[in-house]
Amino acid sequence: MTVVSHQDHTPKLAPEIGRMGEFTPMGRIDVGAMPPEDSSMRARLNDDAEAIQDDHGDEGDDDEKAVQSLDELLDRIDDLAEDQSHVSIGDVMDSLGSKSFGPLLLVPGLLLIPPGPADIPGVPILLAIFIIIISAQLLMNRDHFWIPDWLENRNVESDGVSKAVGWLRKPAHFMDRCSRPRLELLVTRGGQYATAVICILISLTTPILSLIPMSSSLAGAAFAAFGLALLSRDGVIALVAFAFSIATVGVIGFNAMG
């Protein structure tokens, strides 16, 4: 008897590639493995993603620092004065954040109103330089405000700062109760530009104001009112700030004529 062997003439298919790390007839296949070039590209993409995340994290930190009221602003300054013997301009910027024009304008204005820091020789001029630099950067549409190191490191004694904060507590409570969003057209982008220009003009008169009794307090009231108007988006307070600005110019003119 002849035995006939039936051979399988069905065409053989190539073995399938297995899943990641699976042994197949072709050997171990690791789908996750990448050529060196692709690996370096993946590393660069990961670095870019981390950088973007860090940027968003910084923005989140600035958002957390955003001051919501005049009372909160005074609390932060008072905390700085309690923790150290001197308070520098850089310390204040770190505490309030470097993105909000209103709070950064409020602080020098508040320091110029009461007796104390404003009576220290040279302090009004330093605060005026700070306001000019910040206002100019607002006109340049900068996202973060910057000041030079020599100005950032300028400081005043904490005792004087604490006294000024205590003197301002009651007016701050009153202003927080009165301020609310209204006439917001005056505190939008165009209003901010007008505020920046006026603040620069008033700051340029600081050497003259230092020679006129109580005039620095009037200028400080204008700065503080502008800052509070921007902080609370209150156009009525912006109008009050414009009135203080006109009064400051009037005082200078009156003394010049006299």
Lowest average pLDDT, out of 27-36, 87-96, 117-126, 192-201, goes to: 27-36
Lowest average pLDDT, out of 10-19, 62-71, 193-202, 233-242, goes to: 10-19
Q: Which helix (H) or strand (E) holds 90?
A: helix 89-96
Q: Exposure string (b/e) for 17-29, b if CB count within 10 Å is 16 or more?
A: ebeeeeeeeeeeb
Q: Report the C-alpha gap between 112 and 221 in whole angstroms.
A: 8
Q: Which residues fall within 8 angstroms of residue 249, CB to CB, at 6 or more apart?
A: 202, 205
Residue 97 backbone class (left: φ over 0; alpha: ψ -120 to 50; beta: rest):
left
Lowest average pLDDT, out of 72-76, 90-94, 173-177, 206-210, goes to: 206-210
Residues 220 and 109 sit within 8 Å (Cβ to Cβ): yes
Tokens of 77: 């300054």
Examine the pLDDT at 53 and tell me if it is beyond 50.
no
Lowest average pLDDT, out of 41-45, 123-127, 162-166, goes to: 41-45
Examine the pLDDT at 144 and tell me if it is beyond 50.
yes
Examine the pLDDT at 58 and tell me if it is beyond 80.
no
* First vs last C-alpha separation in the chain: 141
How much is the pLDDT for 182?
A: 92
Residue 201: pLDDT band by 50, 70, 90 thresholds? Answer: very high
Q: Report the C-alpha gap between 94 and 112 in whole angstroms.
A: 20
Percentage above 70 pLDDT, the chain: 72
pTM of the model: 0.69
Residues 81 and 162 sit within 8 Å (Cβ to Cβ): yes
What integer best gives the mean pLDDT of the chain? 76
Count CB neighbours of 219 within 10 A: 32
| DSSP label of 27 | E
Q: Report the C-alpha gap between 237 and 212 in whole angstroms.
A: 25
Residues 33 and 24 sit within 8 Å (Cβ to Cβ): no
How much is the pLDDT for 98?
A: 63
Q: Which residues fall within 8 angstroms of residue 77, CB to CB, at 6 or more apart?
A: 87, 92, 95, 107, 161, 165
How much is the pLDDT for 106?
A: 87
Examine the pLDDT at 243 and tell me if it is beyond 90.
yes
Residue 23: pLDDT band by 50, 70, 90 thresholds? Answer: very low
Residue 154, SS3? coil
| CA angle 188–190–193, rounded 5-degree value | 110
How much is the pLDDT for 130?
A: 92
Examine the pLDDT at 20 and tell me if it is beyond 50.
no
How much is the pLDDT for 3?
A: 46
How much is the pLDDT for 116?
A: 67
Q: Which residues fall within 8 angstroms of residue 29, CB to CB, at 6 or more apart?
A: 17, 18, 20, 21, 22
Mean pLDDT, rounded, for 235-258: 88
Residue 24 backbone class (left: φ over 0; alpha: ψ -120 to 50; beta: rest):
beta
pLDDT in tens, 94-104: 887 766 788 88
Examine the pLDDT at 65 and tell me if it is beyond 50.
yes
